[in-house]
A and B are shown apart, each in its own frame.
Chain A
Amino acid sequence: MNRIEIFQDPVAFNIGPVPVTQTMLTTIGVSLGLVVVAALMRTAIRTRPNGRLAAVAELTVDALDGLVVDVVGRRVPWLTVFSGSLFLFIATCNLSGQLPGVRPPTANLATTSALAIVVFVTVPAAGIVSRGPVGYFSHYLKPNPLLLPLHLISEVSRTFALSMRLFGNMMSGHLIVALLVALAGILVPMPLMALDLLIGLLQAYIFVLLSTVYVGAALRTATGEE
């Protein structure tokens, strides 16, 4: 029972006084893989615009752009970059849990909290850049200054919910597979692992959709449509 770990992160090795955990290694591996694929796609678009890799790149960018247009109502290139990076990173992290011996980095509360804090910082930054500090912070006082505490609580609680949702889903999926392997055998958890594929992609989509909605709401209050 003690070997089941929810919050612990096994240390792979130490660099001087700094412990390097498995999550850090997997995260760096995922980032490197994504960067290499992106660089390959970039050269493919320049040299072979009709090739297969270029088509994949165009489809990916088009889908992510469509997501932002659906949520915000207009094209916001930097938001596409932000949401797209989040989606590709989280989806790859979630799916990396299917590799043998790899624990998905998103099944660690530190990773998901870091991602949620990025969103938490981006929302007011986007609002302030679009309309200035006064324009953005005045929306906290609408429709009534009495609601200011509720606005502030919702900012924090939705960040918390964002990180806990991703963490809980990925950790529980991984844990259920581990428990079934320990209790039943090798082939029994296969349906659940297939479900994990779906849940991993769905949770990545939901995380990105919610963060896009949050940032889009900050932009919308800035343009005065709400």
Chain B
Amino acid sequence: MTPEGWQALTAITSLVVAGITTALGAVGAAFGESRIGVAAMDAMARQPDESASITRNLFVSLAMVESTAIFCLVIGLILLFANPFVSG
């Protein structure tokens, strides 16, 4: 295969993999965050007095889980816009 062909193949693969990475990262984080949200709502419904501290811990847990999705998004953006294997 010619060098141009390899470049095109690398670019196409990067596009596909960027999409898959971002999508799977979003799905995983969405499932995890839904479980956190369910548990927090349940706890707040049972103990409304504790809702301040529950909310604080809720945000921390959401941020922790969300960071995996952000990692996937960053990898996807690197593949799209700052790919080291695609020249030009």
Interface centre among B53, B60, B67, B77 (most CB of A within 10 A): B67
The digit string for B53-67, where 1 denotes a CB below 8 A from any CB of A, is 100100110011011
Interface residues of B in 20-79 (CB under 8 A from A): 53, 56, 59-60, 63-64, 66-67, 70-71, 73-74, 77-78
The answer to whether B63 and A70 touch across the interface, beta carbons within 8 angstroms, is no
| Cα A172 to Cα B78 with chains together (Å) | 11
Given A169-B70, A206-B59: 10 more A-B contacts, CB < 8 Å: A1-B81, A167-B74, A168-B71, A168-B73, A171-B77, A172-B70, A172-B74, A175-B77, A206-B60, A209-B59
If A1-B81, A6-B78 touch, does A210 touch B63 (CB 8 Å cutoff)? Answer: yes
The digit string for A165-209, where 1 denotes a CB below 8 A from any CB of B, is 101110110010000000000000000000000000011011001
If A1-B81, A4-B81, A6-B82 touch, does A209 touch B70 (CB 8 Å cutoff)? Answer: no
Residues of B within 8 A of A70 (CB): 53, 56
- Chain A's interface: helix, strand, loop or mixed, by majority? helix
Least CB separation from A210: chain B residue: B60
What's the least CB distance linking A8 to chain B, in Å? 8
Residues of B within 8 A of A7 (CB): 82
Sort chain A's interface into a size bin.
20 to 34
- Chain B's interface: helix, strand, loop or mixed, by majority? helix
The answer to whether A164 and B56 touch across the interface, beta carbons within 8 angstroms, is no
Residues of B within 8 A of A161 (CB): 64, 67
What's the least CB distance linking A154 to chain B, in Å? 12
What's the least CB distance linking A183 to chain B, in Å? 15
What's the least CB distance linking B7 to chain A, in Å? 14
The answer to whether A164 and B74 touch across the interface, beta carbons within 8 angstroms, is yes
| Cα A164 to Cα B53 with chains together (Å) | 26
The answer to whether A6 and B81 touch across the interface, beta carbons within 8 angstroms, is yes
Q: List 6 A-B contacts (CB under 8 A).
A: A2-B88, A6-B81, A6-B82, A168-B67, A168-B71, A172-B74
Residues of B within 8 A of A172 (CB): 70, 73-74, 77
What's the least CB distance linking B6 to chain A, in Å? 19
The answer to whether B82 and A209 touch across the interface, beta carbons within 8 angstroms, is no
A213 touches B (CB below 8 Å):
yes
Residues of B within 8 A of A210 (CB): 60, 63
What's the least CB distance linking B50 to chain A, in Å? 12
Residues of A within 8 A of B66 (CB): 165
| Cα A5 to Cα B82 with chains together (Å) | 8
